[in-house]
Amino acid sequence: MTPRLDRRRLLQMFGGTAVLAAGGPVLGQTLFSDYPFSLGVASGEPTADGFVIWTRLAPSPLEIGGGMVMQPVPVSWEVASDEAFRTKVAEGTEAARPELGHSVHVEVSGLQPARPYWYRFSVGRERSGAGVARTTVRAGQPLRRVRLAAAGCQHYEAGLYTAYRHLSEEDDLDFVFHYGDYIYEGRGAAASRSREGVTTATSRRHLGQELYSLDDYRRRYAQTRTDLDLQAAHAAAPWFVTFDDHEVDNNWAADVEQDGAPVDAFRLRRAMAWQAWWENMPVRRAMLPTLGRIAMHRRAQFGDLMTANFMDTRQYRSDQPCGDGFRPTCPGATAPAATMLGAEQERWLFDDLGRRGPRWNLLAQQVMVTRLDRRRSQDTEAEPILNIDSWAGYEAPRRRLLKRAARHGSTVILTGDEHQNFANEATDQDGRIAATEFVATSISSGGDGRDLRAGTEAMLARNPNCKLINDQRGYLVCEVTPERWRTDFRVVDRITTPGGAISTRASFAVAPGRPGLQAA
């Protein structure tokens, strides 16, 4: 529905200089103190006949309210089959509403499968940059190749988004999977000291303090989104975004906040965090948070080649056992009643894993599934150290997941959260390889990094099912064909100063029906 603007009210507000075009209310340039598309454009949720296109009007992105008039503002959008917008295939007007941070989400449909489309927005005399999206191939139809990237963990204060600039230049990406930590809710110190004792000034500081209110979260997204490397990555391909912990608060689990906030207070904070997340992400209306819940897990089909399951490992999980953190196991980590996905999502996932579907099944999710012993050096701790916030702290649901994954035979897991790269063979309790897991590092979290953290060789020696550990920043590029799955670990050499160069640190292949890592 197109909102009707009160003409007389507008003329009062803008001294009669607002341009009201014939045929409908179009606002003139005078509405904005500055360029309203300061946060760029994005697309997401591609299907065989469309996708979501997104923008958010914010002439003063770092101000409360974004510099916008607190009214619905009609924004025009267009989709074309060519880069020059000569052949328009869809167009319309959508309201940027103050209730939703003046964001615009358009669910474009009726397009042709398996081809690129260009899109852009305009309001008054202002026009956004163009983005490119790509439709998929209908479920069951023949498909020879999908190329995707996996990225996330983009702590704004930890360094530049150089990796996103390189990601935006990757060839023929069908989509980008974002595994969460799009924002971080805290605020760091003005300078930090590394393990080696080197003090570095924080180059980009978060505005404000820790995030609690809707406007706090909105401003953090705006600050993050003003980054032009990030905008380039959004404009280059459609994304499937998920969230992890830092979009709300560190290591939250369902209704439990780790510093002991009362459940009812935390739920209110979480609702505001999710609203700001929704406003700033190219996702469908169906994902708008409602009554304190958000329906984030979803599935996408790529012809006869791949099913992608985008999972939610935060909202329904039981509280981390053993007091969370990196520590030896405890009885809670093997509790049969523990859950990572919640009963409904687990059933939804397992039903699909049990079905004879496309060749590959992608589990696109947030925290590591493979159980690794985290002891890093030849140290004296008698017991294995686990990352309790990962699936290793949830052994019963982890075993259920791997059993279903093994039955499918061609399950590939893409994961984030660790701020390091890992290539893992996820083994079941009998030591059989059930699935292949690629853990993507971070875009910026952790700073420059280096190839190996101290003690990494010892950790590799303790975990024969782990074939790669690397502590540089970057993202994954996966090329999926009927014959094999190939993953490239793309890393940048630095992010604390501009101009970091990209290279491929390692590549692995997976054969269909044979989980495990092979040379690529």
Which residue, 45 or 417, has its beta carbon nearer to Ca ion? 417
- Shortest distance (Å) from residue 310 CB to Fe ion: 17
Q: Which residues inside 8-37 make contact with Fe ion, applying CB under 5 A?
A: none
Q: Which of 174, 181, 425, 448 binds Fe ion (CB under 5 A)?
A: 181
> Given the complex with Fe ion, which of 72 and 180 has the nearer CB atom?
180
DSSP letter for 128, please. P
Element at 164 (helix H, strand E): helix 162-168
- Told to check if 444 binds Fe ion by CB under 5 A, we report no
Q: 179-214: string of b/e by CB count within 10 Å (b at 16+)?
A: bbbbbbbeeeeeeeeeeeeeeeebeeebebeebbeb
Q: How many residues bind Ca ion (CB under 5 A)?
A: 4
Which of Fe ion, Ca ion, none sits in contact with 418, Cβ below 5 to 8 A by type? none
Q: How many CA atoms lie within 13 A of 55 on its CB side?
A: 31
Asked if 153 interacts with Fe ion (CB under 5 A), we say yes
Burial class (CB in 10 A: 0-12, 13-18, 19+), 461: exposed
Work out whether 245 is an interface residue with Ca ion (CB under 5 A). yes
Residue 244 touching Ca ion (CB under 5 A):
yes
DSSP structural state of residue 174 = S
d(CA 12, CA 14): 6
Given a contact cutoff of 8 angstroms between Cβ atoms, the answer to whether 291 and 271 are in contact is no
Residue 445 binds which of Fe ion, Ca ion, none (CB < 5-8 A, kind-dependent)? Fe ion
Shortest separation between residue 513's beta carbon and Ca ion, angstroms = 32
Distance CA 477, CA 490 (A): 7
**Residue 235 in the binding site for Fe ion (CB under 5 A):** no
| All residues at 6 or more sequence positions from 23 whose CB lies less than 8 Å from its CB, including other chains | none
Size of the site for Fe ion (CB under 5 A): 3
26 or 176, CB closer to Ca ion?
A: 176
- Is residue 417 a contact point for Ca ion (CB under 5 A)? yes
Least Cβ distance, residue 244 to Ca ion (angstroms): 4
Largest CA distance in the chain: 78
User: In terms of CB distance, is 50 or 416 closer to Fe ion?
Assistant: 416
User: Applying CB under 5 A, does 181 fall inside the site for Ca ion?
Assistant: yes
Both tokens assigned to 119: 């899109």
Question: What are the phi and psi torsion angles at 251 (to 5°)?
Answer: 55, 30
Of 181 and 216, CB closest to Fe ion:
181
Q: Residue 367 interacts with Fe ion (CB under 5 A)? A: no
Residues interacting with Ca ion, by CB under 5 A? 181, 244-245, 417
Residues of this chain that interact with Fe ion (CB under 5 A) are 153, 181, 445
